[in-house]
Amino acid sequence: MAEKLKLIVIYNPFSGRRKVKQLPQLILHILKDSLYEVMVWPTEKASDVVLLTEKAIKEKADLVVAAGGDGTINQVASRLVNTGICLGIIPLGSGNGFARHFNIPLKTESAIATLLLAKEKEIDTIWINRHCMVNVGGIGFDAHISSLFANNKKRGLQGYVKTILKQLGYQSEAYKIFQNEQLIWQGKAFMISIANATQWGNNVKVHSGALPDDGLMNLVVLKKFNALELPRILSSILNGKLHLSDKTMVFSGSDFKIERLKEGSVHADGEPIWLGKEININIEPLSLKVLSNE
């Protein structure tokens, strides 16, 4: 009998889904007759995700599955970069932008079953001052929202929308964007989004044409706008056409530097990080294996 492949699930038992308490039993039941030896490891605190992923790497796992939201996926993925170990996803978060891009079912049982059917795909990873990002990141308004939302007890789309509506008075800031050491844009921007894949979550898209395996990232710069222009901008975001708006500039490339007047929050896959005035953004092409159901 051939030796079974090793599948390790790292899950956040405090994630938003009610069914998460039954997750270990569901996984073991659905995958019981598969080609995998299955282990399910729960976290007790946020830092456990990294520690458990490193343990899975040492134990030579063939597939490490992140069960949680985009933050959990980010933590697992950042440790799997350039290991050759594939990342699987069971989406349990509020937005699930990364899982949606790869057509991973949001229903837990279906997502588990998809682990047996999905195909391996190599994708790029983005590094923001050496912080890993696999889906989308941002500077300005969306980073500000991510910072506030991280401490928001009201999760899900409703909580996210409420947070946004309360912060619409956010003031645009001055930025300079460099590519290959050349200044390519400067001005005031409401936000600068970094798209490796297509969406923030809940099918709200940053750049509907973003491809995570093309060796390029997309900077979507939403320039300063007035209150009368807000409905049109919101419509373009909800219709997946922000990158086509006359209030945006889009730059594609593998390396960028952004300068701003003061330090502040930046987000990588929805996780806020505090960075200085200079932000370096680089791509590592095809550095992560992901199970995709596209």
Indicate the pLDDT class of residue 93, thresholds 50, 70 and 90. confident
Residue 258: is its pLDDT beyond 80? yes
Higher pLDDT, 45 or 278: 278
Question: Quick one: CA dihedral 195, 98, 93, 256, positive or negative?
Answer: negative
Higher pLDDT, 15 or 172: 172
Cα angle: 181, vertex 145, 195; to 5 degrees: 45
Return the pLDDT at 151.
Answer: 67
Return the pLDDT at 21.
Answer: 79
CA neighbor of 42 nearest in space, from 67, 60, 19, 62: 67
Return the pLDDT at 154.
Answer: 57
Per-residue tokens: 68: 């949680």
205 and 252 belong to one structural domain = yes
Q: Is residue 138 part of a domain?
A: yes
% the chain with pLDDT above 70: 93
Cα angle: 130, vertex 198, 292; to 5 degrees: 90
pTM, two decimal places: 0.92
Structural domain that includes position 70: 5-117
Residue 274: is its pLDDT beyond 90? yes
- Structural domain total, the chain: 2
Q: What is the pLDDT of residues 67-87, one digit of tens each?
A: 998 999 999 999 999 999 999
Mean residue pLDDT of the chain comes to 92
Residue 17: is its pLDDT beyond 60? no
Mean pLDDT for 81-96 is: 95
197 and 103 belong to one structural domain = no
Q: Is residue 294 part of a domain?
A: no
182 and 52 belong to one structural domain = no
97 and 178 belong to one structural domain = no
68 and 203 belong to one structural domain = no
Q: What is the pLDDT of residues 54-66, one digit of tens each?
A: 999 999 999 999 9
The CATH number of the domain holding residue 224 is 2.60.200.40
140 and 92 belong to one structural domain = no
CA gap 109, 14 in Å, rounded: 18
65 and 138 belong to one structural domain = no
Residue 236: is its pLDDT beyond 60? yes
Return the pLDDT at 280.
Answer: 98
Q: What is the pLDDT of residues 148-202, one digit of tens each?
A: 877 665 556 666 677 777 787 899 999 999 999 999 999 999 999 999 999 999 8
String of DSSP letters for 17-58: -GGGGGHHHHHHHHTTTSSEEEEEEE-SSTTHHHHHHHHHHH
111 and 136 belong to one structural domain = no
Indicate the pLDDT class of residue 145, thresholds 50, 70 and 90. confident
Residue 16: is its pLDDT beyond 70? no
